[in-house]
Amino acid sequence: MLSYEHARKHNFVVQYGIFKNLKMNDKVSWGKGDIGSKIYGIYENKIQQKLKDISKPILIDIGAADGFFAIGCLKSKICEFCYAFEETKKSRENLHLTAKINNVNNKLSIMGGVNKDNFFSLLPSEIDFSKTTILCDIEGGEFDFFTEEILKKIRTSNIIIEIHKNNKQNLEIELLERSKKFFNLSTIIDNNKNFENISELHTLNDIDRNLLSSEGRSYIGKWWHLSPK
């Protein structure tokens, strides 16, 4: 409720940060409690910054949800074209709507779910992975998706993978070992939010401010950035 109140106040337009002026729609189907932090530019802000720092012409967004990163990168000209994979029909519909209201629908290809067996067949055969950033958030599916074969073929890409908790610790170790064969690896921890320039949050009490910045996680967020060796 608090998140939507602040989003409505700003007509669902991002006010701060790298995706400033991104127009979101109110039919969000994934992470409804996050929309306030997206409006204020603090949602996964380290990932936003990393995408800007890399800034390749092509973005492949695996697990694109409602399109915050896909459309945000297109709107802010971090990328020129995006291939967005999302298995949920409702999220794909919202992604299409968000692209339309931001006038970037001609720069976006929306597809359904993807797996390790059909990934390359769903992309143009002539795609240059050295000009590509791959962003992956598939709720634990990353351990199965990034096989050695896939990592080898995309070894010239920059890859950002959200690493989810799992019951088998060896899955993360095995992915780490596979990745290090082809990439340099750094870890991104989502452990700080800077409210200094967000005047709307200065007058809120501590509880409301922290609720707005919360991403509803049960543990601290962690991503790997894989950069070509």
Cα 57 from Cα 101, distance rounded (Å): 22
Q: Record the pTM.
A: 0.93
Instruction: Copy the structure tokens of residue 95.
Output: 């992604």
User: Between residues 218 and 63, which one has the greater pLDDT?
Assistant: 63
Q: Please, which pLDDT band fits residue 1 given cuts at 50, 70 and 90?
A: confident
Give the mean pLDDT of 25-48: 83
Q: Mean pLDDT throughout 107-121? A: 96
Domains of the chain: 44-228 (3.40.50.150)
Extract the tokens encoding 27.
Answer: 């039919």
Through-space distance between the first and last CA atoms of the chain, rounded to whole angstroms: 46
In the predicted model, is pLDDT for residue 174 greater than 80?
A: yes
Instruction: Return d(Cα 83, Cα 136) in angstroms, integer.
Output: 12
Give the chain as a DSSP string: -HHHHHHHHTTTB--SSTTTT-B--TT--S-GGGHHHHHTT-TTHHHHHHHHHH--SEEEEET-TTSHHHHHHHHTTS-SEEEEE---HHHHHHHHHHHHHTT-GGGEEEE----TTTTGGGS-TT--GGGEEEEE--TTTHHHH--HHHHHHTTTSEEEEEPPP-S-HHHHHHHHHHHTTTEEEEEEE------TT-HHHHTS-HHHHHHHH----SS--EEEEEEE-
pLDDT-derived band at 220, boundaries 50, 70, 90 = confident
